[in-house]
Structure 1
Amino acid sequence: MQRSVEGAAGPRPAVPIARILAAAATAAALVVPAGSAALAAGPAGPAPVVTRAGLDPALVAGRGATVDFVEQEAEHARTTGTVIGPDRAAYTLAGEASGRRAVRLSPGQYVEFTLPKAANALTVRYSIPDAPGGGGITAPLRVTVGRGPARTMTLTSQYAWLYNQYPFTNDPEADLLHPDWWITECSCVPAATTPPPAITKPFRPHHFYDEQRLLLGRTHRAGEVVRLTAPTGTAAAWTVIDLLDSHLVAPPRVLPHAVNVLAFGADPTGRRESADAFDRAVAYARRVDRTLYLPPGTYQVNRHIVVDDVTIAGAGSWYTVVKGREVALDTPAPDGSVHTGVGFYGRDAADGGSSDVHLSGFAVEGDVRERIDTDQVNAIGGALNHSTVDGLYLHHTKVGLWFDGPMTDLRVTDTVVADQIADGLNFHTGVTHSSISNSFIRNTGDDALAMWSEATANAHNTFDHNTVQSPVLANGIALYGGADLTVSHNLIADPVREGSAIQVGSRFGAEPFTGHLRITGNTTVRAGTYDLNWNIGLGAIWFYALDRSIDADIQVVGDSYLDNTYNAIMLVSDWPVKDAVSISDVHFRDIRVDGTGTSVVSARTAGSASFADVDARNVGAVGVNNCGSFHFTPAGSEFGLADLGGNDGWLAPWLLPNTITCDDRPPVVPPPPPSPW
Structure 2
Amino acid sequence: MAPEPSAAAAARGASSPFAEYEAEDGSYDGTLLETDATRTFGHTNFATESSGRKSVRLDSTGQYVEFTSAGSTNSIVVRNSIPDAPGGGGQDKTLSLYADGAFVQKLDLSSKHSWLYGSTDDPEGLTNNPGGDARRLFDESHALLDKTYPEGTTFRLQRDAGDDAAYYVVDLIDLEQVAPPASKPAECTSITEYGAVPDDGKDDTDAIQAAVTADQNGEIDCVWIPAGQWRQEQKILTDDPLNRGQYNQVGISDVTIRGAGMWHSQLYTLTAPQDAGGINHPHEGNFGFDIDDNTKISDIAIFGSGTIRGGEGNAEGGVGLNGRFGKNTKISNVWIEHANVATWVGRDYSNIPELWGPGDGLEFTGMRIRNTYADGINFTNGTRNSSVTDSSFRNTGDDSLAVWASTYVKDPSVDVGHDNVFSNNTIQLPWRANGIAVYGGYGNRIENNLVYDTMNYPGIMLA
* TM-score over 0.5 for the pair: yes
Q: Relative contact order (C-alpha < 8 Å, sep 6+): which is higher?
A: 2
Q: Give the percent of matched residue pairs that are identical in Structure 1 and Structure 2.
A: 33
Secondary structure of 1:83's aligned partner = strand
Q: Which residue of 1 aligns with 2:168?
A: 239
One-letter identity of the residue aligned with 2:336: L
Match of 2:10 in 1: 61
Q: Distance in 2 between matches of 1:65 and 1:318?
A: 18
Question: Is the contact between residue 110 and residue 141 of structure 2 (CA under 8 Å) also seen in structure 1?
Answer: no
Contact 1:453 1:480 in 2 (8 A): yes
Check if 1:378 corresponds to 2:323: no
TM-score, with length taken from structure 2:
0.86
SS of 2:109's equivalent in the other structure is strand
Retained in 2: the 8 A contact 1:467–1:490?
A: yes
Contact 1:329 1:338 in 2 (8 A): no
Q: Which structure 2 residues correspond to residues 157-306 of structure 1 after superposition, within 5 A?
A: 157-164=111-118, 165=120, 166=122, 167=124, 168-173=126-131, 202=132, 204-257=133-186, 258-286=188-216, 287-306=218-237
2:247 paired residue number: none
Change (3 A) 1:334 1:74: closer
Partner of 1:362: 300
Following superposition, the deviation at residue 216 of structure 1 comes to: 0.9
What is the distance in 1 between the residues matched to 2:275 and 2:295?
Answer: 27
Would the alpha carbon gap of residues 376 and 303 (structure 1) be closer, same or farther in structure 2, given more than 3 Å must change?
farther
Match of 1:123 in 2: 77
CA distance in 2, matches of 1:332, 1:249: 35
CA distance in 1, matches of 2:276, 2:167: 40
Separation in 2, partners of 1:51, 1:77: 12
Partner of 1:657: none
Matched, 1:340 2:285: yes
Aligned to 1:72, what secondary structure does the other structure show?
Answer: strand
| Pair 1:501 & 2:432 matched | no
2:381 is the counterpart of 1:429: yes
Whole-Å separation in 2 of the counterparts to 1:211 and 1:338: 24
Map 1:87-102; keep pairs closer than 5 Å.
87=36, 88-91=39-42, 92-102=45-55
| Distance change (3 Å), C-alpha of 1:279 and 1:65 | same
2:23 corresponds, among 63, 74, 87, to 74
Query: Which of 114, 124, 132 is matched with 2:86 structurally?
Result: 132
Partner of 1:12: none
Determine helix, strand or coil for the equivalent of 1:392: strand
CA offsets, 1:86-114, max 9 Å, x none?
44221310001011001111132111111
Does 2:431 match 1:472? yes
Shift of 1:458: 0.6
Name the amino acid aligned to 2:460.
Answer: I
Task: Give how far 1:264 is off.
Answer: 0.4
Q: Secondary structure of 1:280's partner?
A: helix
Q: Report the secondary structure of 1:362's partner residue.
A: strand
Query: How much does 1:288 deviate?
Result: 3.1
1:447 maps to amino acid:
D
Q: Look up the match of 2:416.
A: 457
Shift in Å, 1:372: 1.7
1:16 aligned residue: none
Aligned residue for 1:673? none
**What is the CA–CA distance in structure 1 between the aligned matches of 2:189 and 2:276, rounded to whole Å?**
34
- The one-letter amino acid paired with 1:308 is S
Q: Partners in 1 of 2:280 and 2:297 — Cα distance?
A: 27
| Cα deviation, residue 146, structure 1 | 2.7
Code of the residue aligned with 2:296 in structure 1: it is H
- Superimposed CA distance per residue, residues 5-47 of structure 1 (whole angstroms, 9 cap, x where no aligned partner): xxxxxxxxxxxxxxxxxxxxxxxxxxxxxxxxxxxxxxxxxxx
Q: Which amino acid aligns with 1:366?
A: G
- Gaps of at least 5 residues in structure 2 are 238-251, 348-357, 408-414
Pick one of 365, 390, 393 that aligns with 1:441.
393
Aligned to 2:98: 144
Distance 2:157 2:378 in 1: 35
Q: Give distance in 1, aligned partners of 2:280 and 2:196.
A: 29
CA separation of 1:157 and 1:330: change in aligned 2, threshold 3 A? closer
What SS class does the counterpart of residue 266 from structure 2 fall into? strand
Deviation, 1:49, is: 3.3
Give the superposition deviation at 1:446: 1.1
Residue 446 of structure 2 corresponds to which residue in structure 1? 487
1:310 aligns with 2:255: yes
Cα displacement (A) at 1:279: 1.1
* Runs of 4+ deviating beyond 4 Å: 329-335, 373-376
For 1:90, the aligned partner's letter is F
d(CA) in 1 for partners of 2:323 and 2:153? 45
State the alpha-carbon separation in 2 of the partners of residues 333 and 359 from structure 1: 23
| Whole-angstrom CA distance in 2 between matches of 1:63 and 1:452 | 24
SS at match of 2:236: strand
Q: What's the CA shift for 1:478? A: 0.7
Counterparts of 1:113 and 1:229 in 2: how far apart (Å)?
12
CA distance in 1, matches of 2:19, 2:193: 38
Q: 1:339 to 1:292 in 2, by over 3 A?
A: closer
Contact 1:425 1:448 in 2 (8 A): yes
Which SS does the other structure have where 1:250 is aligned?
coil
How much does 1:148 deviate? Answer: 5.0
Aligned mate of 1:324, from 269, 287, 290: 269
Counterpart CA distance in 2 for 1:407 and 1:428 is: 8
Check conservation: 1:294, 1:312, Cα contact below 8 A. yes
Measured after TM superposition, the shift of residue 339 of structure 1 is: 7.6
> Normalising to structure 1: TM-score of the pair?
0.59
Q: Partners in 2 of 1:453 and 1:97 — Cα distance?
A: 32
**TM-aligned CA deviation for residue 358 of structure 1:** 0.3
CA contact (8 A) 1:465 1:489 kept: yes
Displacement after TM superposition at 1:275 (Å): 0.5
The aligned residue for residue 390 of structure 1 is: 332
C-alpha deviation, 1:338, in angstroms: 6.2
Could you tell me whether the CA contact under 8 Å between 1:49 and 1:77 is conserved in 2? no
CA separation in 2, counterparts of 1:305 and 1:334? 10
- State the partner residue of 2:343: 401
Structure 1 gaps, min length 5: 1-47, 174-201, 347-353, 506-677
CA distance in 2, matches of 1:485, 1:99: 30
Give the match for residue 243 of structure 2.
none
SS of corresponding position for 2:173:
strand
Residue 217 of structure 1: CA displacement? 1.4
Task: Describe the SS at the equivalent of 2:192.
Answer: helix
- Could you say which structure has the larger radius of gyration? 1
> 2: CA distance between counterparts of 1:216 and 1:488?
36
The whole-number CA distance in structure 2 between the counterparts of 1:360 and 1:119 is: 23
Q: 1:254 to 1:85 in 2, by over 3 A?
A: same
Distance 2:396 2:94 in 1: 24
Aligned with 1:75: secondary structure? helix
